């Protein structure tokens, strides 16, 4: 995983509508960039719903939220519509940004080794520097953990 204090790798990726989104366009704002394995899976759906429900609190703190997976923009659009998501989903079908942040890793499942997305979250400060990393985020507590940190309730 990328380490706190590192410059956040810049990227331009399509959102759920296919429109390009560049990280550099959000300089001056804190960014929560959460990486998740797949649209419409139980854990990822609960995690996205938690960010959806907490979005007003993130916005009150001046923080933008982005979810990122290797799913296509079309898949993201269906996922966003189904769960009424009110934040941007980014599509990294080539897994380059996932790799740049260290979220694309070797995983083992029932003895089978494959590459996949590690559920994790990165907080990027106003200057484009990685402020905090949650390398093994939990689907059910990720949004609350990040919000608690932003409010100064957790280190």
Question: Tens digits of per-residue pLDDT, 2-50?
Answer: 999 999 999 999 999 999 999 999 999 999 999 999 999 999 999 999 9
CA distance 127 to 141: 27
Calculate mean pLDDT across residues 51-76: 98
pLDDT at 155 over 70: no
Instruction: Report CA torsion sign: 130, 136, 140, 145.
Output: negative
Structure tokens at 45: 């759906």
Residues that are catalytic: 44
CA distance 104 to 94: 11
The whole-number pLDDT of residue 144 equals 97
pLDDT at 81 over 70: yes
**Phi/psi at 55 (5° precision):** -55, -40
pLDDT at 154 over 90: no
CATH architecture type of domain 12-150: 3-Layer(aba) Sandwich (3.40)
Domain spans of the chain?
Answer: 12-150
Q: How confident is the model at residue 108 (pLDDT cuts 50, 70, 90)?
A: confident
């Amino acid at each position: 995983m990328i380490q706190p204090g590192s410059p956040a790798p810049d990227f331009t990726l399509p959102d759920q509508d296919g429109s390009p989104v560049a990280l550099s366009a959000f300089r001056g704002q804190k960014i929560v960039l959460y990486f998740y394995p797949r649209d419409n899976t139980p854990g990822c759906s609960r995690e996205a719903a938690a960010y959806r429900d907490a979005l007003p609190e993130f916005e009150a703190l001046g923080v933008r939220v982005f979810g990122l997976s290797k799913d296509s923009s079309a898949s993201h659009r269906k996922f966003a519509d189904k769960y009424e998501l009110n934040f941007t989903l980014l599509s990294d079908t080539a897994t380059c940004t996932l790799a740049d942040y260290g979220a694309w890793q070797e995983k083992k499942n029932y003895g089978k080794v494959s590459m996949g997305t590690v559920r994790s979250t990165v907080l990027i400060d106003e200057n484009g520097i990685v402020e905090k990393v949650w390398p093994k985020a939990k689907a059910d507590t990720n949004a609350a953990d990040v919000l608690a940190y932003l409010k100064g309730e957790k280190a």
